[in-house]
Each structure stands twice: as C-alpha cells, then as structure tokens.
Amino acid sequence: MSTGPSATPAPTGARARRLREASLGPALTRYRVMAIVTGVLLVVVFLNLGVRLVSALLGDEVHLFGSWLAITHGWVYIVYLVTVVDMWSRLRWGPARLAGLVLAGVVPAVSFVVERRVTREVKDLLRQLGQRA
C-alpha cells in the first residue's frame, strides 16, 4: 500500500468544462477591471502626449505628467494581458479574438468598447448555463 499522496487525475470532459465555467465570473471581473484601468491610463497618456505636442509647437514646454505615466500604463498593460489570456483560454476563443483583445489595450478608448462586448457575451453565456454573472 502506498503511503504517499494519491495522484488524482486532472479533470477531463464535462467535469473540466463545469470547473472552467464556474470560474468565469471572477475571471470576467478581473478582465473588466483591468480593461477599464488600462483604457483610462491609455487615454490619459495620449491626452498628455497631445498637450505636450501642442505646447512644443507653441514654443512652450508644458509637462502635465512625467514619463512615469507611460511606464505605469506599460506595467498595467502586462497585467491586462494576463487577464486577457485567462479569459481567452477559459472560453476557448480563437486566435483572432485573442489578437483583438490584445490590441484593445493599445488603441485609446477601444478597450471600453471591447470590454462591453466581452462582458455582454460572457454574461449571456453564464445566463445560458444557469449561473450568476
């Protein structure tokens, strides 16, 4: 008789699907938070860039924020990518969807639109499965 920990097989088939679906709600929440934070930071980065460009053209150097803002967005974007890959893998979406979600974090204001679409789609899926969104 073995005294070591018993090896439990990884869930497969319907059980794996149920486990994946059960964790969609928290994964969606994480994705939504990161999409909104990333989108807000990106809009602020571009507004800052616009102000700096206009002020440079007028011969005045106005710096609303330092380069720390863009660096912060870069780090937040990495966390956003982790949440995107998490959602993508749980929902078994194709590579085109992954590319769209990744690009949504680098085009100003697009993350808000994509976040709404993904949220609606996942909530509809959860509703079909009889779960709370």
Among 52-66, 74-88, 116-130, the range of highest mean pLDDT: 74-88
Return the residue matching tokens 């660096």. Answer: 71
- The answer to whether position 52 is within a domain reads yes
- The answer to whether position 47 is within a domain reads yes
- The answer to whether position 72 is within a domain reads yes
Phi-psi domain of 60 (left: phi exceeds 0; alpha: psi -120 through 50; beta: other): beta
Structural domain harbouring 109: 21-128
Burial of 67 (0-12, 13-18, 19+ CB in 10 A): exposed
Give pLDDT tens digits for 4-49: 444 444 445 565 556 556 678 899 999 999 999 999 999 999 988 8
Q: What radius of gyration do the chain's Cα atoms show? A: 20
Total domains in the chain come to 1
Distances (CA, A) of 31 to 50, 86, 120, 122: 28, 8, 13, 11
Does 57 score more than 60 pLDDT? Answer: yes
- The answer to whether position 11 is within a domain reads no
Give the pLDDT score at 60.
78
pTM of the model: 0.76
Residue 11, φ and ψ in degrees, nearest 5: -65, 140
- The answer to whether position 85 is within a domain reads yes
Does 78 score more than 90 pLDDT? Answer: yes
